[in-house]
Every structure is written in structure tokens, then in C-alpha cells.
Amino acid sequence: MTPLHIQTPLIESRALAQARQTVLLKLEALQPPGSFKIRGIGLACQEHIRRGAKRLICSSGGNAGIAVAYAGHRLGVPVVVVVPETTTARARALIKSEQAELIIHGASWHDANERAKSMVTATDAFLHPFDDPLLWQGHSTMIDEVAAAGVRPDAVILSVGGGGLLCGVLEGMHRHGWRDAPVIAVETIGADAFFQSIQAGARIELKEITSIATSLGARQVCEQAFDWSQRHPIRSIVVPDRSAVSACLRFLLDHRILVEPACGAALAALYENVPQIAGFKSILVIVCGGATATMEQLPSWAAQVH
């Protein structure tokens, strides 16, 4: 099966590097549907269809929903995306532009998710945005590409929402024997379920999401993400929304690529030179992207985080 994602460029960033440091960017922002999500979602959709699914259902108003809509369109299978009323006009438009049926239901993701699940019949596949081994397998291919380029970094920086990206990257790292390279897992304040779980020594659930980085807004990370924190060196850090947005603005200037604050969080670790990255000579950054970032949205995010 031909994958639905593309092999993304791996480029060196002088702008993000400090003296004596090499920073490599894995440009997942360049995936056609705008984020890394198509790697895992694309694989999961293909697999469900191979097993006989006739329709794809998802409840994400963000990049997962956009990726499912894209995958269904490419594979010629109908898609239903149920999103809460809070979903931005931009995300709604992107989902619709891939010919998916968009249902707006409820005040929160929880309501939309309940509605989506209630629609699932025996011939439908339900796509979870982060908690699915098929997704992790698909995400892990980004590390295969880095390894195939002959690169073995000292550390990997990425953003954490529900932890699907983290699980996929770690699966790929372990497949290639990168067992010692720490992962710097970045969240924003107010979307820091992973950080708080590590502090508490158990998987906690946030009462609410207060960060503007909505793509990181999982109230609880998947169990597998927490398990990884017990068997791989992971440095969990949090940055304020202000730093994430400012990193998006700087990244646009430095690399001419527009990303969501969810991705800006990971970039902020470098721009702000956090102590957790001190001493690493070669750092791989997963530039996860995000399709809902626009030239209009970015200043409005900046205005919200003063």
C-alpha cells in the first residue's frame, strides 16, 4: 500500500542552533494535510478499509479530523467528522474542503465524541486522535526517514498532546537502537497532562484545558505515553503560551513556515534555550506543524497571551 504521507525534508537550522550545536528539523509541517498526523491516521485508515470498513468516523476538530478527512478523500471512502461548537471556522472549512460530512455537536470535545461514537456501526471505523497502536506505527516512520538519512541525534525535541506523537517517535527510536537519546517532551501551561502525570507518578486528568495550543489539549495522555516515561529517558517541560506563540512568529521569520502554537511549544525549547537541552551536540526537532495556523490567526493568538 502506498502511504498517504510524504517523506518530509530534514534540514539543518542555523537560526535555532546555539554555538557548537547542530539542530535538525524534521519538517512534518509540510505534510499535505498540514501536520504529522497523516502518518498515523493515514496508516490506520488504510488498515481499517483493508479490514472492510466502509466509512471513517472521527471526533477531532483539529489536525486529526483534518487528516481523516484527507485520508478518506484520497481513498474514496466517506468520512464523518463530529466537532464541538468551539471548533474554529478555519478547521471546519479544511474538513469540509476534503468532502467530509461535518457535524457540529455540543459545547466540548466530550459531547462531540459521544455523538461520534453513537453513530458507529459494524461497517464503520472509529479513529482515535492519539491512543491507537496503528497511529504510533504510522508516526514512527518519521524516525525511519531520519535514520535512513544517516542521522543519529543526541536528543529529540517534540510536543506532547495526548502522547501519540511521543509513542510513535519512541517506537521508531527503539527500532533503530536510539535507546539512550533523551526525548525532550514539551507542553504548554494549561495543557500539561504529561508533565503533571510525571510529577504525580501516575496518569492524572486535567480539569480543563486553558492553553491556546488546542492541538495539545488532551485532558489525559494515553497510557502508553506514561509507560514510556518509565522506560526511556524523557525530560518533560512546560512553556507558557506566550513562548509558544513567539516561537511561531520567529520560526515564520527564520524558516518561512507557519505552524500552530502546539508546534511552537517544541520550537520554544530551542529559542529560549531551556536548561534541559544544554550539552547536546545534535538535536532533532519534530516540527509537527498544524493546519489551523493562518496569517490572521497568529496575531490574534499573540494578542491573547499578553
Ligand X SMILES: *Cc1c(COP(=O)(O)O)cnc(C)c1O
Residues that bind ligand X (CB under 6 A): 35, 37, 62-63, 130, 159-166, 215-216, 218, 260, 262-263, 288-290
Check: CB of residue 37 under 8 Å from CB of residue 60: no
Return the closest-CA partner of residue 155 out of 235, 227, 226.
235
Return the closest-CA partner of residue 60 out of 299, 295, 301, 290.
290
Closer residue to ligand X (CB): 118 or 300: 300
Closer residue to ligand X (CB): 79 or 216: 216
Rg of the Cα trace of the chain? 18
Return the closest-CA partner of residue 108 out of 85, 80, 131.
85
Please report how close the Cβ of residue 162 comes to ligand X at its closest, in angstroms.
4
In angstroms, the CA 287 to CA 46 distance is 24
Closer residue to ligand X (CB): 24 or 185: 185
Please report how close the Cβ of residue 163 comes to ligand X at its closest, in angstroms.
5
Please report how close the Cβ of residue 122 comes to ligand X at its closest, in angstroms.
28
Please report how close the Cβ of residue 70 comes to ligand X at its closest, in angstroms.
13
Which DSSP string do the residues of 43-103 spell out, in sequence order? Answer: HHHHHHHHTT--EEEE--SSHHHHHHHHHHHHHT--EEEEE-TTS-HHHHHHHHHTT-EEE
In angstroms, the CA 222 to CA 23 distance is 29
Closer residue to ligand X (CB): 125 or 288: 288
Check: CB of residue 139 under 8 Å from CB of residue 167: yes
Residues shown for the chain: 306
Please report how close the Cβ of residue 248 comes to ligand X at its closest, in angstroms.
11
Contacts of 276 (CB under 8 A, 6+ apart): 184, 235, 237, 269
Please report how close the Cβ of residue 102 comes to ligand X at its closest, in angstroms.
18
Please report how close the Cβ of residue 216 comes to ligand X at its closest, in angstroms.
6
Closer residue to ligand X (CB): 49 or 293: 293
Closer residue to ligand X (CB): 130 or 251: 130
Closer residue to ligand X (CB): 123 or 230: 230
Please report how close the Cβ of residue 176 comes to ligand X at its closest, in angstroms.
20
Amino acid symbol at 263: C
Closer residue to ligand X (CB): 63 or 246: 63
Put residue 62 in one of left, alpha, beta given phi > 0 → left and psi -120 to 50 → alpha. Answer: beta
In angstroms, the CA 267 to CA 157 distance is 8
